[in-house]
Amino acid sequence: MTTRERCMNILHYKDTDRIPAVHFGYWRELLDEWARQGHITPEMAKAAVRDNSPEQRELDKIIGWDCNWYNTVGTNNGLSPRFKREVLETFPDGTQRVLTSNGVIERIKPGVVSIPSEDDYLLKDREAFETLFKPKMQYSPERVNTEALKKFNETRATDIPIGIHVGSVMGHIRDITTVMGMSYLIYDEDEELFSEIVDTYAEMQYKCVEAALATGAQFDFGHYWEDICYKSGPLLSPEIFDELCRKHYKKRNDLLHKHGIDIISLDCDGVTEKLIPTWLETGVNVLFPIEIGTWGDQFEPARKKYGKEILGVGGMDKTAFRKDKQAVDVEIERIKRLFDLGGFIPCPDHRLMPGSKFELVQYYAEEIKNIRI
Amino acid sequence: MSILVEICENLQKGKAKIVKELVTQAVEQGINPEQILNEGLLAGMNIVGEKFKNNEIYVPEVLVAARAMNMGVQIIKPLLAAEGVKATGKVCIGTVQGDLHDIGKNLVKMMMEGKGLEVVDLGTDVSPETFVQTAIEQNCQVICCSALLTTTMSVMEEVVKKAEEAGIRDKVKIMIGGAPVSEEYCKKIGADVYTVDAASAADAAVEFCK
């Protein structure tokens, strides 16, 4: 059996010979750390951060992973052209205020990485939308590499699952408006404008997916990126989320279904529980990465509530890799029980972070493959 | 409907401009500023805080309500000072060194102000020494540390140590919060309290300042 067959069988409740060792990539700082420790070369550390690059697949082999779930083919479905990155101000300690490609002003300090720290944003009102952003949210054929997609079925790796990245209904908008801007527009300043922003962006993304699928390229699954939840739940009310997003998920997922894609996963960090109804009722059926370690998100309650319709990839507490073999063993026992529920592929619950021990990651990847079903 | 009830209700909806107008009207009508603060602005913010704690509303609703409260408070602040209305306690707050994220910190700050506390905002990337020095110089009863990153939360332990070294540990309570922080971590580093959300943080600070 190939990893592709294993994964697809599990998500369709069919038999498999073993659990696939699936991961979700690495933070750059971890790869640098592993290079300093002599586990990998600095060159590999630099290149293997990119999901499913040849170097990452090489690293997968060294560690023992079968594949990275985040293996998707996408289109240019963001702002186009993007804003030109510009340093607006530099402070004595090296901290910079930078205009990003999304039209957001971020504070960046040397040596501080991870989640951006947002200072300000350009998309504040209708004038900014009409003049700066709307032209960048339009569909054009150049957004889709149709020539490459026409050859996709012949050139793709056949041993691992590959998805089509169908974009984001709310996450990209949050990236452009920031959490503050999104909140002010929706609740106080111009709800109608916010709704129009969501609709404009979603329509462009739909057309990108439509054009990609029209090439005949066949994918194993569809995949969204959202990241619209945090420690205590969604970053906006579930009712408003549903009102703004439901129709777009439905339209996009119906298109995927029409092309035979019935596995649709969605990457959302944080505690996702309150948004699951909107996703599940419109066709999104795979929760990913189910961040139990950082945020306490869980798969079992969703399975109990929604039954076998809901599937999962993730749910393994990656923080165990920073501890010891015993902690990893505890995790393996726990996720084995989740695997037994069916329709669930264990995977570290986000990108592996600095401090993860190389030998423990190797140990996990091997152990998970050795579990008898 | 009384104007104070209108202030309270519009604050809950996050209608900043309307709140500002209503507070201005209330002042013009001769309503005591302390009454505007307590029965209009703080009453609204308390309801928002409770709903947030109970997961009935989410971060955006709190952000817009807090902004509305701030706009209202700006109108009456000089009047309150002139009347000698004092804060119920003093807190210094900041995001710890190496971390530039401030949404959570700002939420806590606004919730605390909504409870009548005076908050010294140290901003982001704050060193342990600055937390402790500020607490000493400004007679703060509480130090409040925020972190978003697992890589920066360890600075909180340094704050506790610096407070001990400075001999103020028995005079100042240290509160911690943020995405990667937990009750277990709070106990481990010897801080006084961890709260799961901004509203609970404000409640805890009020208790410490009594």
pLDDT, mean of each 10-residue run, chain B (210 residues): 94 95 97 93 91 88 91 90 84 90 85 88 93 97 90 91 96 92 93 91 93
* Percentage of chain A exceeding pLDDT 90: 89
**How far is it, in rounded angstroms, from Cα A291 to Cα A88?**
35
pLDDT of residue B100: 78
Q: Is some CB atom of chain B closer than 8 A to the CB atom of A237?
A: yes
Contacts of B196 in chain A (CB under 8 A): 231-232
- Considering only CB atoms, B196 lies closest to which of A179, A180, A232, namely A232
- Considering only CB atoms, A188 lies closest to which of B15, B103, B125, namely B15
Examine the domain organization and report whether B143 and B56 are in the same domain: no
Examine the domain organization and report whether A184 and A113 are in the same domain: no
A230/B100 Cβ within 8 A: no
Q: Is some CB atom of chain B closer than 8 A to the CB atom of A327?
A: no
CB contact at 8 A, A244 and A290? no
Q: Is A233 left (phi over 0), alpha (psi -120 to 50) or beta?
A: left
Q: Is some CB atom of chain A closer than 8 A to the CB atom of B63?
A: yes
Examine the domain organization and report whether B26 and B118 are in the same domain: no
Among B29, B52, B83, where does a domain finish? Answer: B83
Examine the domain organization and report whether B56 and B147 are in the same domain: no
Which chain A residue's Cα is nearest to B12? A187
Asked if residue A114 has pLDDT above 80, the reply is no
Asked if residue A369 has pLDDT above 70, the reply is yes
Examine the domain organization and report whether A204 and A325 are in the same domain: yes
Examine the domain organization and report whether B70 and B99 are in the same domain: no
Ranges A67-76, A227-236, A300-309: which has the least confidence:
A227-236
Q: How many Å lie between the alpha carbon of A235 and the closest alpha carbon of chain B? A: 6
Query: Which residues form the domain of A102?
Result: 84-121
CB contact at 8 A, B108 and B202? yes
Examine the domain organization and report whether A225 and A89 are in the same domain: no
**How far is it, in rounded angstroms, from Cα B22 to Cα B7?**
6
Q: Tens of pLDDT along A247-302?
A: 999 999 999 999 999 999 999 988 899 999 999 999 999 999 999 887 778 899 99
Test mutation, B15, B99, B103, chain A, max A CBs within 10 A = B103
Query: Which residues form the domain of B182?
Result: 90-209
B57/A186 Cβ within 8 A: no
Among B83, B110, B126, where does a domain finish? Answer: B83
pLDDT of residue B163: 97
Q: Is some CB atom of chain A closer than 8 A to the CB atom of B124?
A: yes
Q: If you ran DSSP here, which 8-state letter would residue A187 be given?
A: I
Spell out the residues 6+ positions from residue A258 whose beta carbon is closer than 8 angstroms to its own. none
B100/A115 Cβ within 8 A: no
**How far is it, in rounded angstroms, from Cα A206 to Cα B87?**
54
Q: How many Å lie between the alpha carbon of B85 and the closest alpha carbon of chain A? A: 30
pLDDT of residue B88: 86
pLDDT of residue A347: 97
Examine the domain organization and report whether B104 and B205 are in the same domain: yes
B63/A179 Cβ within 8 A: yes
Among B83, B116, B147, where does a domain finish? Answer: B83
Q: How many Å lie between the alpha carbon of A293 and the closest alpha carbon of chain B? A: 9
Q: Tens of pLDDT along B52-92?
A: 888 899 888 988 998 999 899 999 988 988 887 788 899 99
**What average pLDDT does the structure give for chain A?**
95
Examine the domain organization and report whether A366 and A229 are in the same domain: yes
Examine the domain organization and report whether A252 and A106 are in the same domain: no
Q: Tens of pLDDT along A190-227?
A: 999 999 999 999 999 999 999 999 999 999 999 999 99
pLDDT of residue A112: 67
Domain count, chain B: 2
**How far is it, in rounded angstroms, from Cα B191 to Cα B183?**
10
Examine the domain organization and report whether B94 and B196 are in the same domain: yes
Asked if residue A233 has pLDDT above 90, the reply is no
**How far is it, in rounded angstroms, from Cα A363 to Cα A340?**
21
**How many cross-chain Cβ pairs, A to B, lie less than 8 Å apart?**
78
Q: What is the mean pLDDT of residues A14-31?
A: 95
Which chain B residue's Cα is nearest to A106? B100
Q: How many Å lie between the alpha carbon of A354 and the closest alpha carbon of chain B? A: 9
Domain count, chain A: 2
Q: Is some CB atom of chain A closer than 8 A to the CB atom of B5?
A: no
Instruction: Write down the residue that tokens 């056949």 correspond to.
Output: A158
Examine the domain organization and report whether A13 and A88 are in the same domain: no
Which chain A residue's Cα is nearest to B59? A235
Chain B residues 23-52 with CB within 8 Å of chain A: none
Q: Is some CB atom of chain A closer than 8 A to the CB atom of B162?
A: no
Residue A115 pLDDT grade (very low, low, confident, very high; cuts 50, 70, 90): low
